[in-house]
């Protein structure tokens, strides 16, 4: 194990369209994490007009944004490069050109500052967002639902770092389902916060819409969201008045996603005798999902802790990458700048 009592980690995250840098300090003995800075430069305004992320533009923006974001993270944290224990970097999965922009920045800084690197899987980063000031004690086994723009994965963590995937989406990710619905209704990008805002506007009123809850009763822990998107398309085509009912459509569409996510997560928590259930990823920023999952764990299970990241750590950020890196540092998983390689389709192991 690295000998310093307090580890100070700079993390860089650039797997999609956010250029992010964060500094954390972590107590090697107690595992307590303090986020000293968490800086994000969002490219949403640029990609919005194309209705989604344009990889070449994202990479070019990362090249412009990353160094200023890293500088700001150091200044805000009042940390000098010489005091860093290591530099963490997202290895994948993600957009290859975006990953390269981050990795080459990390490589250059590691060389210039003579610091070791720690490679982090982006999904693992999302999972470890829950280890930053956890909302309840994390006991194992834990069942973890990761819901982002690119992934919908249900997994069991038997102990810290030991992960087993038990279910995945067979087509679209939950965040993608939000984004595609928003695009279909001409609401803009990214769809998650827009659709959930309109659903909130509709409120708790009942609706006559009956969008499907795909794979709700399938015997496995898998998901499917592309059929839901198609069902929405057919409903909109049938309804000449749909433009006046958008909040209602958003409400039922969102509830269809939430129903399936909660049902499968609770089923897994019971089957694997989980002591903790966690939610992570961009879609876990969703207020309804957060509230309904918390309520379901409380009322439909016994003695299972529910842990969810603070909103700042749900969508892509570098504090989560730094936190995952800290657990790798404890296992001495440090590499030299020469060995750093990105992998756009990196698997979770």
Q: What is the nearest approach in angstroms of ligand KG4 to the Cβ of residue 280?
A: 8
The only residue of 85, 152, 315, 323 in contact with ligand KG4, by rule CB under 6 A: 315
Q: What is the nearest approach in angstroms of ligand KG4 to the Cβ of residue 174?
A: 7
Q: What is the nearest approach in angstroms of ligand KG4 to the Cβ of residue 75?
A: 25
323 contributes a contact to Zn ion by CB under 5 A: no
179 contributes a contact to ligand KG4 by CB under 6 A: yes
Find the binding residues for ligand KG4 in span 184-243 (CB under 6 A): 190-193, 196
Contacts of 103 (CB under 8 A, 6+ apart): 89, 91, 340, 341, 342
Q: In whole angstroms, what is the distance from residue 252 CA to residue 180 CA? A: 15
148 contributes a contact to Zn ion by CB under 5 A: yes
Q: In whole angstroms, what is the distance from residue 263 CA to residue 24 CA? A: 35
Stretch that binds ligand KG4, among 46-54, 170-178, 223-231, 322-330 (CB under 6 A): 170-178
The only residue of 92, 116, 167, 175 in contact with ligand KG4, by rule CB under 6 A: 175
152 contributes a contact to ligand KG4 by CB under 6 A: no
Q: In whole angstroms, what is the distance from residue 181 CA to residue 232 CA? A: 8
Find the binding residues for ligand KG4 in span 53-82 (CB under 6 A): none
Q: Angle 226-238/174-184 helices, nearest 10 degrees?
A: 20
Stretch that binds Zn ion, among 73-81, 143-151, 204-212, 260-268 (CB under 5 A): 143-151
**Residue 152, CA distances (Å) to 173, 284, 331 in order:** 5, 11, 28
Contacts of 192 (CB under 8 A, 6+ apart): 149, 175, 178, 179, 182, 282, 283, 285, 286
**Residue count, binding to Zn ion (CB under 5 A):** 2
Q: In whole angstroms, what is the distance from residue 89 CA to residue 119 CA? A: 5
Output 58 or 246, the one with its CB closest to Zn ion.
58
92 binds, among ligand KG4, Zn ion, none (CB under 5 to 8 A by kind): none
260 binds, among ligand KG4, Zn ion, none (CB under 5 to 8 A by kind): none
Q: In whole angstroms, what is the distance from residue 75 CA to residue 58 CA? A: 25
Find the binding residues for ligand KG4 in span 250-289 (CB under 6 A): 281-283, 285-286
Q: Angle 191-202/287-300 helices, nearest 10 degrees?
A: 70
167 binds, among ligand KG4, Zn ion, none (CB under 5 to 8 A by kind): none
90 contributes a contact to ligand KG4 by CB under 6 A: no
Residue 236 burial class via C-beta count within 10 angstroms: exposed 0-12, middle 13-18, buried 19 and up? middle
Q: In whole angstroms, what is the distance from residue 319 CA to residue 317 CA? A: 6
Output 179 or 316, the one with its CB closest to Zn ion.
316
Q: If you search the block for the tokens 């810290």, which residue do you land on?
A: 160
**Residue count, binding to ligand KG4 (CB under 6 A):** 20
178 contributes a contact to ligand KG4 by CB under 6 A: yes
43 binds, among Zn ion, ligand KG4, none (CB under 5 to 8 A by kind): none
259: part of which helix (H) or strand (E)?
helix 246-271
Binding site for Zn ion (CB under 5 A): 148, 316
Binding site for ligand KG4 (CB under 6 A): 16, 148-150, 175-176, 178-179, 190-193, 196, 281-283, 285-286, 315-316
């Amino acid at each position: 194990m690295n000998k310093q009592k307090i580890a100070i980690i700079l993390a860089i995250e650039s797997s999609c369209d956010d250029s992010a840098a964060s500094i954390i300090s972590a107590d090697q003995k107690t595992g307590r994490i303090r986020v000293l800075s968490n800086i994000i430069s969002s490219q949403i305004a640029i990609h919005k007009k194309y209705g989604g992320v344009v990889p070449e533009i994202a990479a070019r923006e990362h090249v412009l944004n990353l160094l200023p974001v890293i500088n700001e993270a150091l200044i805000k944290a009042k940390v000098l490069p010489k005091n860093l224990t290591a530099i963490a970097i997202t290895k994948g999965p993600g957009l290859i050109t975006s990953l390269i922009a981050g990795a080459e920045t990390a490589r250059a800084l590691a060389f210039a500052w003579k610091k070791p690197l720690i490679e982090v899987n982006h999904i693992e980063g999302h999972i470890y967002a829950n280890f930053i000031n956890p909302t309840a004690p994390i006991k194992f086994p834990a069942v973890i639902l990761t819901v982002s723009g690119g992934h919908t994965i249900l997994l069991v963590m038997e102990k810290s770092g030991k992960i087993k995937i038990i279910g995945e989406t067979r087509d679209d990710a939950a965040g993608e389902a939000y984004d595609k619905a928003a695009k279909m209704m001409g609401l803009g990008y990214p769809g998650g916060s827009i659709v959930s805002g309109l659903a909130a506007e509709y409120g708790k009123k009942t609706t006559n819409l009956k969008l499907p809850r795909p794979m709700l009763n399938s015997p496995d822990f898998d998901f499917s969201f592309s059929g839901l998107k198609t069902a929405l398309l057919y409903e909109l085509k049938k309804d000449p008045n749909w433009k006046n009912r958008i909040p209602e459509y958003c409400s039922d569409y969102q509830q269809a996603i939430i129903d399936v996510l909660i049902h499968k997560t609770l089923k897994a928590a019971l089957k694997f005798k989980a002591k903790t259930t966690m939610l992570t990823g961009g879609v876990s920023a969703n207020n309804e999902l957060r509230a309904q999952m918390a309520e379901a764990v409380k009322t439909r299970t016994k003695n299972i802790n529910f842990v969810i990241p603070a909103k700042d750590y749900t969508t892509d950020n570098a504090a989560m990458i730094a936190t995952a890196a800290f657990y790798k540092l404890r296992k001495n998983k440090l590499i030299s700048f020469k060995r750093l390689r990105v992998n756009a389709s990196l698997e979770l192991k």
